[in-house]
Amino acid sequence: MNKNLISQISIHFDGPIAVDHSVQLRTLSKALDNIQNSIDRAYLDIKYGKIWKNATLKKEDYLPTDFVMRQTREGGFITDLIGGAGSEKIVQRIYRALLPAYEKAKNNAVIEHEKLVELAEKRIEGLRNGLQVPKDYKEIMDKPDALQTTAFGDRSIVKEFDQIASAIRARDGDGSVIEFDFYAEKALPTLIFDEKVARNFHGVVSTRTLGDPVKIPIKLRALDSGRGVSKAKALNIISDKEFNLHIYTDRGFSSLRKYLKKRNPPIFEIVACPILEYEAFDPLAGDMYFISVVS
């Protein structure tokens, strides 16, 4: 390995996915796009100490997130992505996000997803019985949960690698493998995604649950009735950001209709639960699960 190397991410496609040391353009271009997205998200997380939904790079952020692709190598199909000064921190952040989910997937973690509807019913029961009291949303904004904030950065990175691993899941166990090698000041242990690990990894990173109920002032922007769970677009008055509101009952949907107005929509307060994905939630614009209108 080049002694002047600062950082490197290598992608190795092997098995039937890489016939004659070649790989489908669709598979490669998607993987490279996902890797760049993970680099961008890791950089923003490092720069700001946290990351948020729909965060984008500024003009000055492009240079430190530029990685160069070297000529591909044989041995299946291998491509190396080389970073410049300071990029070792980006690679370390990516690896730090990936490793816990990968270890769970490698150790045959079986994730049982409890339905959000069932979780919402438990939250309603707890509120009725006085076992839970909803917090004011301002508390979440003023003192965000540090673990959830870190987890949101992790999730924004691991979901990109989950998309790459989908190429293995789609091949019905034909023996294809994707390996990722990372170098950041030193070589880091290789992460190998065969079909079993790829499927387990998806189960780990796609886990969704509900946080504790909160009171949140909103303006309703749109209502969309659907089968099972309906959705609304709402403005979070505290963060001044738009978010998705999931509604699981017809009664809940009906209770919101009168607040949907094209002109001068009223501000009103609801009780809702943050939807945690991979234990993560963005307090600015994270999805919420509707419980009730505060009377």
72 versus 177: the higher-pLDDT residue is 177
Q: What is the CATH number of domain 116-143+209-293?
A: 2.40.50
pTM beyond cutoff 0.95: no
pLDDT computed for residue 72 by the predictor: 86
Decide if pLDDT at 23 tops 60: yes
- Span 158-205, pLDDT tens digits: 999 999 999 999 998 899 999 999 999 899 999 999 999 999 999 999
Question: In the chain, what are the helix, strand and coil shares in percent, each to the nearest 5?
Answer: 40, 30, 30
Which of 75-79, 119-123, 177-181 is predicted most confidently? 177-181
Decide if pLDDT at 1 tops 80: no
Distance, CA of 120 to CA of 250 (rounded, Å):
14
pLDDT band at 110 (very low <50, low <70, confident <90, very high): low
Distance, CA of 121 to CA of 117 (rounded, Å):
6
Decide if pLDDT at 114 tops 60: yes
Look at phi and psi of residue 211 and say left if phi exceeds 0, alpha if psi is from -120 to 50, else beta. Answer: beta
Tell me the C-alpha to C-alpha distance, in Å, between residue 171 and each of 38, 164, 199: 24, 13, 11
Decide if pLDDT at 98 tops 90: yes
Mean of the per-residue pLDDT values of the chain: 91
Residues in CB range of 108: below 8 A, 6 or more apart: 196, 200
Look at the alpha carbons of 101, 105, 111, 115 in this order and tell me if their dihedral is positive or negative. Answer: positive
What ranges do the domains of the chain cover? 7-112+145-208, 116-143+209-293
- Span 207-260, pLDDT tens digits: 889 999 999 999 999 999 877 779 999 999 999 999 999 998 889 999 999 999
> What SS3 class is residue 279?
coil
Decide if pLDDT at 81 tops 90: yes
Task: State the pairing for strand pair 268-277/241-247.
Answer: unpaired
